[in-house]
Amino acid sequence: MAVARLYLDWNATTPLHPAAREAVLRALDLFGNPNSVHGEGRAARAAIENARRQVASLVHTEPAHVVFTSGATEAANMVLTPDFRMGRTPLKIGHLYVSAIEHPAVREGGRFGKADVSEIPVTAEGTTDLSALGALLAAHDRDSGLPMVAIMLVNNETGIVQPVREAAEIVAAHGGILVVDAVQAAGKLPLDINEIGADFLIVSSHKIGGPKGAGALISRGEALMPKPLVHGGGQEKGHRSGTENVACLAGFGAAAVAAVADLAERTANAAALRQRLENGMRAAAPDVIIHGAEAMRIANTCFFTLPGLKSETGQIAFDIEGVALSAGSACSSGKVGESHVLTAMGQDPKLGALRISVGFSTTEEEIDRALAVFEKIAGRRKSAGEAA
């Protein structure tokens, strides 16, 4: 009898939460166009606006501040632009500053030209270098327009929490705009856009138990907004055209509610599971490197290196044993390459690293199964080295 596979790649995507599944199924019967004025259309519109309220509550803001998109990548491309408006007045953004450990969706710079994007270095501990940020903003050419800064709240590979509140103070002191990728933070940390100090937050449905194909750009207010990326019928108050995906958004909203309902309990459980995992890994392979172990991390993530084991080799070996994990970001068309995050931290990316991330249904028994596989793979590595 085949052993069930073990899913430990929750940072890449989550299984659909039961509440989100129910919401999607109910919404599939709402066949009306949500922009139509008849009863069928109004029913679909009501489902979308309910989802908007639910997603707004995820970050403690007003529903009017939530613009739905097809996902976090679209939200990033929408907000990372030199062209903004403050009410009806055009506002020019002169330069974009992104941290060196950003997700590829942000590192690409959106609608900025390559010459208009600069990198903010990170420390050896994997956190944004605030001194470097201050120096970059002090040297910013104000005549070119306002500075924009993009710093993620939680790194998707290491799980390290970034000093975004402190960065927000620096950005505000220089009259800049702060964009925060909160994709990996949502459902793992309490979020309040005003407390964080971000002008814009980016969140994703499928990272919190919702369906793929939905995300949101959340603003601190309604006056400052980017030039639309998608033009057409003027949906989302003109910020994002296109007929909305009612079922996806309904699932997104339900997942947002579930993501905060028992956050403290889930966080404590994830922390205990990770401790069990990392203790077992160190016992089985004392030379294992756990990146960010001394830093503040979200509770569910372990990014590790087994010296002598390449990322792609390790990922395949675990997969053959029935364990799904990743080699970092899973958003590069299935490619397994060197980690730009390790490079930014001053480490040799050729070391290779693997990421285990747990979720709401992960159990101690599953962690123990993963450790048995880890020990097996680590043992093979030693045997191969001794044979050589």
- Residues annotated catalytic, as ranges: 331
DSSP state of 161: B
**Do residues 77 and 107 lie in contact, with contact meaning Cβ atoms separated by under 8 Å?**
no
C-alpha distances in angstroms, 232 versus 30, 191, 238?
23, 32, 8
Q: In b/e form, how buried is each residue of 362-384, taking b as 16+ CB within 10 angstroms?
A: beeebbebbbebbeebbeebeee
Any bridge partners for residue 6, and if so which? 323
**259 Rama sector, left if φ>0, alpha if ψ -120 to 50, beta otherwise:** alpha
Tokens 């249904």: give the residue. 361
Q: Which two tokens stand for residue 330?
A: 């899973």
What is the sign of the dihedral through the CA atoms of 33, 37, 40 and 41?
positive
Q: Which two tokens stand for residue 176?
A: 């800049």
Q: Which two tokens stand for residue 154?
A: 């939680």
3-class state of residue 94 by DSSP? strand
**Do residues 340 and 157 lie in contact, with contact meaning Cβ atoms separated by under 8 Å?**
no
**339 Rama sector, left if φ>0, alpha if ψ -120 to 50, beta otherwise:** beta
